[in-house]
């Protein structure tokens, strides 16, 4: 096995830590278990959790190599032990990592693969130039408080020589996708250090801006030393090579060795004597240090007893203070419920109720974190009130939980691996920026591949056709199951990253400069010269996650807000007052024919529908939405198709 570990800018974010761990057998017994690899990251890190990932990896590794069963059973036992570890620290009051942890564990023995993961990590298998998303078979369930079960199912499979397992953290995966780096890496065949260096060298500026992990595990019979690299922005790149470039930029920092001289210690000890002079009687008393220590010990015991009573009193006072806080929150909840009663006749009352419930949730959150360490009666009061607040907020935010969403199609595991979905002319089509060709659903049990032998990066609808964009500046039209000839757009000195269309005009966004570039449609699949669409003095469209155009240009930012531009000028920002609170929306969709804005949030397994003033229309959430990749909406705006891993679901408003 050959290992390449790339750590990009480990210290770029103060509240983010990440690391990877690679273990090889150390003795004849551990060789039966094979190799163990782990990678993870933790967001919103508290100071006491800076070694959280190290401790987690240590627990898993020790149990794995001590079980000495089959690799699969050993990994299961290791995960059980890890869950017990996480449950224990949660009961002790440390729950700050819940919802912030992403972690993957992989074992490989004789080309047999076993792995599991939780959170926002991507695991791919690279084989003969193909990119296969192998973690989509895992079923991820919501974290239950107690008993805590973070790590669940294990996926097993058989690998072949020269296969490559690739693990990426979310930011690295997003960056690789945007700069089309995954397909370039997959195209290295046979996989070698020299070509990998060249691929990274071509994207060195983009790589210096990201923070996260890229871990390669190359399967081979030859055992080679692993290489661990850390990329930071402290020095500019000049020549991108492992020795000359990665040496100054990719460093593993170690504490310098320091030698100490032990002080000389005498083997003979003398107990000093103390002479006390008292006025009456006129006697001289000599007492040893032992006697003084007795007095000190007695004093210490007395101090501890007093401290116990003081601590107990403070504990009671603290509990009374917490109870007072809880009573005040209850009063606010009662007030909010009163506003709900009159909401039918007073629209402003519903907004007031929602605001009070949100304030109550924020105020009760600190009590929820500490409730388990206090009396059971108080803990029950806190959890009951929190549940009441959440239920009211779910209702106010029109959240619908779908237990069994309608499944309309499922891809074969070894067949076409979809990443994007589009609906046109009563048909659903799928493609992937990581591979070639197009897939069309024929019926619930059948589909067909339409060959094109081109990497399709993004898509937009154009009248009765589908228009695919191929980087850096080419288009190809698809209609009646046929592709047109490639069309080359006139280039401007900008990167065409995000793509949309309106009235057959094309809109691109350069995420680096924040400029929006417009190509005016001249008919017959011809477009004019590119123009900068944004007015000179308006603010640039920076930090964008997704774009949609309906006459206005709607931009979903990485801060989970929606910005609207019109006629080249910034118009407004829609603050998304949604509960559950947004964590990481990935896509916005609308058009001139659609009445709403549609937002996808895979991390919370939901799709959110807003009107174009930002008011909530509906939310759909399901435990089955465990790997949301993309979605499309029919022209009526009421039928939504969701691509979830290898499954396609349909929901109706």
Structure token digits, residue 501 = 């269309």
**CA R_g for the chain:** 31
For residue 301, the number of C-alpha atoms closer than 13 Å in the C-beta half-sphere is: 5
**In the block, residue with structure tokens 């990749």:** 629
More confident residue, 307 or 557: 557
How far apart, in whole angstroms, are the C-alpha atoms of residue 570 and residue 535? Answer: 9
How far apart, in whole angstroms, are the C-alpha atoms of residue 16 and residue 101? Answer: 10
Q: How confident is the model at residue 313 (pLDDT cuts 50, 70, 90)?
A: low
Q: How many helices (H) and strands (E) does the chain have?
A: 10, 39
Asked if residue 64 lies in contact with residue 33, where contact means CB atoms within 8 angstroms, the answer is: yes
* Element housing 299 (H / E): helix 289-341
Structure token digits, residue 372 = 């388990």
Residue 267 CB contacts under 8 Å (≥ 6 apart), including other chains: none
pLDDT at 180: 83
How far apart, in whole angstroms, are the C-alpha atoms of residue 511 and residue 578? Answer: 26
More confident residue, 649 or 245: 649
Helices 289-341, 376-396: crossing angle, 10 deg rounding? 30
pLDDT at 596: 96
Q: What are φ and ψ of residue 579, in 5° steps?
A: -125, 135
* Element housing 284 (H / E): strand 284-288
Q: Tell me which DSSP letter residue 48 carries.
A: G
pLDDT at 283: 40
For residue 176, the number of C-alpha atoms closer than 13 Å in the C-beta half-sphere is: 25
How far apart, in whole angstroms, are the C-alpha atoms of residue 517 and residue 532? Answer: 5
Asked if residue 1 lies in contact with residue 202, where contact means CB atoms within 8 angstroms, the answer is: no
Residue 107 CB contacts under 8 Å (≥ 6 apart), including other chains: 33, 34, 35, 36, 37, 64, 71, 72, 74, 75, 113, 114, 115
Asked if residue 645 lies in contact with residue 435, where contact means CB atoms within 8 angstroms, the answer is: no
pLDDT at 221: 64
Provide the edge-to-edge strand list for the sheet that holds 427-431. 420-424, 427-431, 436-443, 446-455
How far lies 649's CA from each of 411, 431, 588, 605, in Å? 12, 17, 18, 13
Asked if residue 139 lies in contact with residue 626, where contact means CB atoms within 8 angstroms, the answer is: yes
Structure token digits, residue 299 = 């004093």
pLDDT at 547 over 50: yes
How far apart, in whole angstroms, are the C-alpha atoms of residue 519 and residue 524? Answer: 14
Residues of the chain with CATH 3.60.40.10: 2-249
| pLDDT 10s digits, 438-494 | 999 988 788 899 988 888 989 999 888 999 999 899 999 999 889 999 999 998 889
pLDDT at 306: 66
For residue 150, the number of C-alpha atoms closer than 13 Å in the C-beta half-sphere is: 26
| pLDDT 10s digits, 604-631 | 999 999 999 999 999 999 999 988 999 9
Strand ranges for 346-445 from DSSP E: 399-401, 406-410, 420-424, 427-431, 436-443
How far apart, in whole angstroms, are the C-alpha atoms of residue 487 and residue 243? Answer: 42
pLDDT at 224 over 60: no
More confident residue, 602 or 192: 602
Asked if residue 635 lies in contact with residue 594, where contact means CB atoms within 8 angstroms, the answer is: yes
**In the block, residue with structure tokens 């990274």:** 200
pLDDT at 150: 57
**In the block, residue with structure tokens 């499944």:** 407
Strand ranges for 11-159 from DSSP E: 17-23, 35-42, 101-109, 112-118, 121-127, 130-133, 155-158
Q: How confident is the model at residue 254 (pLDDT cuts 50, 70, 90)?
A: very low
Indicate yes or no: pTM above 0.75: no
* Most distant pair of Cα atoms in the chain: their distance: 122
We find that the CATH architecture of domain 2-249 is 4-Layer Sandwich (3.60)
Q: How confident is the model at residue 563 (pLDDT cuts 50, 70, 90)?
A: very high
How far apart, in whole angstroms, are the C-alpha atoms of residue 601 and residue 556? Answer: 12
How far apart, in whole angstroms, are the C-alpha atoms of residue 411 and residue 427? Answer: 16
| pLDDT 10s digits, 345-402 | 777 888 888 889 999 998 998 888 887 767 788 888 888 998 999 999 999 999 999 9
Q: What is the chain's mean pLDDT, rounded?
A: 82
Which span out of 195-199, 280-284, 412-416, 499-503 was modeled with the highest average pLDDT? 499-503
How far apart, in whole angstroms, are the C-alpha atoms of residue 167 and residue 345? Answer: 54
How far lies 612's CA from each of 533, 551, 586, in Å? 22, 12, 18
Q: How confident is the model at residue 278 (pLDDT cuts 50, 70, 90)?
A: very low
């Amino acid at each position: 096995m050959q290992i390449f570990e790339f750590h990009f800018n480990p210290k770029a974010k103060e509240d983010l830590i990440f690391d990877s761990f690679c273990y090889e057998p150390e003795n004849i017994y551990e060789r039966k278990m094979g190799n163990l690899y782990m990678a993870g990251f933790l967001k919103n890190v508290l100071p006491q959790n800076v070694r959280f990932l190290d401790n987690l990896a240590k627990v898993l590794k020790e149990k794995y190599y001590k079980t000495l069963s089959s690799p699969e059973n050993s990994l299961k036992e290791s995960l059980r032990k890890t869950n017990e570890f996480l449950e224990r620290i949660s009961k002790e009051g440390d729950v700050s990592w819940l919802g912030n942890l992403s972690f993957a564990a992989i074992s490989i023995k004789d080309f047999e693969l076993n792995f599991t993961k939780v959170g926002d990590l991507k695991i791919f298998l690279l084989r003969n130039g193909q990119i296969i998303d192998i973690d989509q078979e895992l079923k991820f369930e919501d974290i239950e408080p107690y008993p805590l079960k973070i790590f669940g199912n294990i996926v097993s499979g058989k690998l072949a020589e020269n296969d490559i397992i690739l693990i990426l953290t979310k930011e690295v995966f997003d960056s690789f996708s945007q700069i089309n780096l995954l397909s370039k890496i997959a195209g290295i065949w046979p996989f070698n250090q020299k070509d990998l260096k060249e691929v990274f060298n071509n994207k060195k500026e983009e790589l210096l801006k990201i923070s996260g992990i890229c871990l390669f595990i190359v399967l081979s019979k030859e055992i080679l030393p692993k290489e661990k690299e850390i990329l930071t922005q402290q020095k500019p790149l000049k020549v991108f090579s492992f020795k000359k470039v990665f040496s100054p930029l990719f460093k593993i920092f170690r504490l310098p060795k320091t030698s100490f001289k032990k002080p000389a210690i005498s083997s003979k000890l003398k107990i000093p004597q103390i002479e006390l002079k008292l006025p009456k009687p006129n006697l001289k008393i000599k007492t040893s240090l032992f006697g003084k220590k007795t007095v000190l010990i007695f004093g210490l015991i007395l101090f501890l007893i007093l401290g116990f009573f003081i601590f107990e009193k403070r504990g009671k006072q603290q509990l009374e203070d917490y109870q007072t806080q809880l009573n005040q929150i209850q009063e606010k909840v009662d007030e909010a419920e009163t506003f709900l009663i009159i909401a039918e006749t007073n629209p402003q009352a519903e907004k007031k109720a929602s605001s009070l419930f949100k304030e109550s949730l924020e105020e009760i959150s600190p009590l929820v974190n500490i409730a388990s360490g206090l009396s059971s009666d108080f803990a029950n009061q806190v959890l009951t009130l929190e549940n009441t607040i959440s239920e009211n907020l779910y209702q106010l935010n029109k959240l619908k939980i779908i237990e069994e969403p309608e499944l309309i199609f499922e891809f074969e595991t070894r067949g076409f691996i979809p990443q994007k979905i589009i609906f046109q002319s009563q048909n659903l089509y799928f493609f992937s920026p990581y591979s070639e060709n197009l897939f069309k659903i024929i019926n619930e049990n059948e589909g067909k591949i339409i060959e094109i032998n081109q990497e399709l990066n993004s898509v937009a609808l154009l009248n009765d056709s589908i228009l695919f964009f191929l980087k850096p500046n080419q288009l190809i039209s698809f209609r009646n199951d046929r592709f047109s000839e490639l069309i080359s757009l006139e280039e401007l000195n900008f990167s065409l990253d995000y793509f949309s269309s309106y009235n057959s005009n094309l809109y691109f966004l350069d995420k680096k400069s924040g400029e929006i570039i417009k190509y005016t449609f001249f008919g017959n699949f011809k477009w004019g010269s590119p123009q900068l669409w944004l007015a000179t003095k308006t603010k640039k469209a920076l930090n964008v996650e997704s774009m949609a155009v309906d006459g206005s240009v709607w931009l979903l930012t990485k801060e989970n807000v929606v910005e609207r531009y019109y006629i080249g000028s910034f118009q407004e920002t829609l603050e998304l007052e949604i509960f559950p609170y947004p964590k990481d929306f990935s896509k916005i969709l609308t058009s001139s024919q659609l009445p709403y804005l549609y937002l996808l949030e895979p991390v919370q397994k939901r799709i959110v529908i807003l009107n174009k003033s930002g008011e909530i229309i509906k939310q759909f959430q399901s435990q089955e939405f465990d790997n949301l990749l993309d979605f499309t909406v029919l022209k009526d705006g009421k039928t939504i198709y969701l691509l979830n891993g290898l499954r396609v679901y349909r929901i109706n408003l």
